Amino acid sequence: MDRILIKGGRPLHGEIPIRGAKNAALPLMTAGLLTDERLVLSNVPLLADLHTMGELLAQHGVAMEPGDGGRTLSIGGRITNTLAPYDIVRKMRASILVLGPLLARCREAKVSLPGGCAIGARPVDLHLKGLEQMGAEIRLEGGYVHAAVPQGLRGADIVFPFVSVGATENLLMAATLAQGRSVLANAAREPEITDLADCLVAMGARIEGIGTDQLVVEGVASLHGAAHPIVPDRIETGTYACAAGIAGGAVTLLGARLDHMAALAVALAEAGVEVSETAGGLLVRRLNGLHGTDMKTEPYPGFPTDMQAQFMSLMSVAEGAAMITETIFENRFMHAPELNRMGARINVHGSSAIVRGVRALQGAPVMATDLRASVSLVLAGLAAQGETIVNRVYHLDRGYESVERKLGACGAEIERI
């Protein structure tokens, strides 16, 4: 099994291209189920999770053809099967996003329940409740969601009790082909949702309120093909910004957008890492020392939970203390004990962690059980004295395209072994 070996202590200088966002690409791919015509996505990241989604689309009879060395994906075909089997869904929770499109197109679907994951229980009750409000009959049996809507979905007023990215995406896609008008209130407004909504509009959907927490959708009879570039990955951007912060130096993130990472940029500035816009993207520089900075994760436009682990690595070598509070997932501090094995001083109390900065981390063999925790250990390795070996690299490959090549090109001593 692959591992990443890092010899720490080298500052980063150079350019890193930022690709399309994984968490935009996955729902966009399922939007391909909403039409028989071709949906062509560009700025596609080369990631294991997209491959898994391709497998699932193929299972439904919809083919995915890569072009331009994998940088474009052309999705199209008639849905021949409405079963999303356990063997694929267990590999990737985002598989649940086929449920709304399948119901809208085929009036029935059988989708495996995703089950829990390392960072939390992650139920899908909001997805199911919303579809029930749109007229679907839903039964849970044998680990599967059995959903049917013989008369077709109808528009509904849905008020989310709390913000959910996935539930907003599933119901938004379902609503585009429902009869009548739907209102999604307290909807998530992450840039990935806006990207999905823009793509749906390009496919002929009628959506108002894009970018706000209230989406109003007038259902249409059918959608057509479209071409859509995937929004740059704000989490990949933030991760490499933290890399420049922890290792020192100055890195240009090509194609990155500052407006999608405003809360993170404020926290980085307070911590001593400057992010500024350039012609081709963003320039990130560590100014002098790093300072302990408190932060709390929140739905967009707040500080993203997907950047919490990376920011914790940064804080582990800052001067002073930082209080980090996780409000989205109940178990997203698994990186803390691993960072402590590298000499960090982190105490977790419920949903908060106190990080007392240390002068230096020491390299160690480490591993993590999810994507962002894994990359936070790579960042820690960049700053650590000696060798760090990050195990279970398959987590990294799900969401980061050639992390070792991108960091290596900026002067990090890092290799895949």
372 binds ligand EPZ (CB under 6 A): yes
Listed ranges 139-147, 158-166, 193-201, 383-391: which one lies at the site for ligand EPZ (CB under 6 A): 158-166
285 binds ligand EPZ (CB under 6 A): no
| Residue 117 is a catalytic residue | yes
Q: Give the contact letters, 311-350, x = binds to ligand EPZ (CB under 6 A), - = no.
A: -----------------xx---------------------
With respect to ligand EPZ, which residue has the nearer C-beta, 34 or 283?
A: 34
- Tokens standing for residue 194: 């806006």
* Residue 279, C-beta contacts closer than 8 angstroms, at least 6 positions apart: none
Helix (H) or strand (E) segment spanning residue 175 = helix 165-176
Short-list 246, 236, 214, 256, CA closest to 384: 246
Select the residue interacting with ligand EPZ from 198, 306, 326, 397 (CB under 6 A).
306
Q: Kindly name the residue from 106, 117, 242, 410 that is annotated as catalytic.
A: 117
Whole-number minimum distance, CB 28 to ligand EPZ, in Å?
A: 11
With respect to ligand EPZ, which residue has the nearer C-beta, 168 or 252?
A: 168
Longest dimension (CA), the chain: 65
Listed ranges 37-45, 51-59, 114-122, 142-150: which one lies at the site for ligand EPZ (CB under 6 A): 114-122
Q: Concatenate the DSSP letters of all residues of 182-225 into one string.
A: EEEET----HHHHHHHHHHHHTT-EEE-TTSSEEEEE--S----
Select the residue interacting with ligand EPZ from 125, 157, 277, 319 (CB under 6 A).
125
120 binds ligand EPZ (CB under 6 A): yes
CA distance 80 to 63: 11
Query: What is the C-alpha end-to-end distance of the chain, expressed in Å?
Result: 9
Residue closest to ligand EPZ (Cβ): 166
CA distance 342 to 215: 45
| Sheet containing 137-141: order of strands | 83-84, 108-112, 144-148, 137-141
Residue 141 DSSP label: E
Select the residue interacting with ligand EPZ from 6, 12, 23, 187 (CB under 6 A).
23
Which residues are catalytically annotated? 117
Residues that bind ligand EPZ (CB under 6 A): 23, 26, 94, 120-127, 164-167, 305-306, 328-329, 371-372, 399
